[in-house]
Amino acid sequence: MNEAGFKTPPLEWIRAFEAAARCGSFTAAAAETGLTQSAISQRIGHLEKHLRTPLFFRRARTIELTVAGEAWLPHVQSALTTLRDASEALFGAERGQMTISASQSIIDLWLQPRLAALGEVANGQLILQSMVLGALDAPDDAVIRIRYGTGDWPHEHKLRLFSEKIAPLAAPELAAQGGNWTSWPRIACSGSRPGWNAWATRFGIPTTPVPHLRFDTFLPALQAARAGMGVILASLPLCEADLAAGRLVRLSDDVLAHHESYWVLAGSQALARSQWDRLARVLS
């Protein structure tokens, strides 16, 4: 190919290639871009003809990048990211409203202490929505969502709040009664976080007594523990303030690490990239 006479292909062709390569199919790329499958196929065909190089192997039901396509893809993605960031920095305006959806425990224990800084990031109105749906409910829309899981979501922006570490905690009044804490009343909380059976298996304590209080969310379970009603297996990062203030005390040096944690998820509709960078600093 004569490099001196090379003409950069149209941006719409390049975007079609990037979307198809990232999504793994022309159909998925069409759904993401709002085009038809035939339009995506046509644009990529024009691009391959322009470059005089096939970029995909077309299988019966799948596509696969050629060596040339695989080599070109990271450069295309880097260029598109640079173009988007530069356009936003020069011409974009930060949103005047920022909406965060999270469980009530995250709102109370993690967001409330950071409200002033979050308000500055919002640069306008800050809306906090209490999330009551399951952890898999995380659509990519104009809402910033904090969800518990492994981070396997397709959002453009993702941040793990902390590494999950779990330990038994109790109110000082309960801890002062003496004896082995494993025989004290237990509080249980449903959800993805490991519970008493996982702790008993890992550290070899009895599976009894069976928890006499069970909650479906973490915050009321934590409030019961603060009131001295039993021992709770709690997230140490979420309970930093309680431990520092002496409302709760640790009963064991053992820690149960967990592969899941809370993740902040957001797409480009939810906030500007400059806002995301500041938000990540505030929340981490």
Residue whose entry in the numeric block shows the structure tokens 């060596």 = 67
Q: Which of 112, 176, 162 is nearest to 263 (CA)?
A: 162
Q: Which of 222, 256, 264 is nearest to 239 (CA)?
A: 222
* All domains of the chain in start order, with CATH: 3-91 (1.10.10.10), 97-161+261-283 (3.40.190.10), 165-257 (3.40.190.10)
Adjacent-strand bridge partners of 126: 98
**How much is the pLDDT for 88?**
67
**How much is the pLDDT for 90?**
63
pTM equals: 0.72
**How much is the pLDDT for 1?**
46
- CA 272 from centroid of its chain's CA atoms: 17
Asked whether the bond before 237 is cis by omega within 30 degrees of 0, the reply is no
Q: Which residues of the chain have pLDDT under 50?
A: 1-2, 134-136
Give the count of beta carbons closer than 10 Å to the beta carbon of residue 238. Answer: 21
- Token pair recorded at residue 166: 């779990």
Q: Which of 243, 245, 221 is nearest to 233 (CA)?
A: 221
**How much is the pLDDT for 135?**
45
User: Which amino acid is present at 131?
Assistant: M
* CA–CA dist 37, 23 (Å, integer): 13
Going through 82-195 in order, the beta strands assigned E by DSSP cover 97-102, 125-130, 144-149, 157-160, 165-170, 186-189
Specify burial of residue 155 (Cβ count, 10 A radius: 0-12, 13-18, 19+): buried
Q: Which of 105, 113, 183 is nearest to 146 (CA)?
A: 105
Any idea what DSSP says for residue 110?
I
**How much is the pLDDT for 187?**
98
Residue whose entry in the numeric block shows the structure tokens 């995301």 = 276
- Assign 278 to helix, strand or coil: helix
**How much is the pLDDT for 140?**
67
* CA–CA dist 20, 199 (Å, integer): 45
According to DSSP, the β-strands at 97-102 and 125-130 are parallel
Q: Which of 50, 65, 53 is nearest to 11 (CA)?
A: 50
* CA–CA dist 143, 84 (Å, integer): 20
* CA–CA dist 183, 204 (Å, integer): 13
- Assign 153 to helix, strand or coil: coil
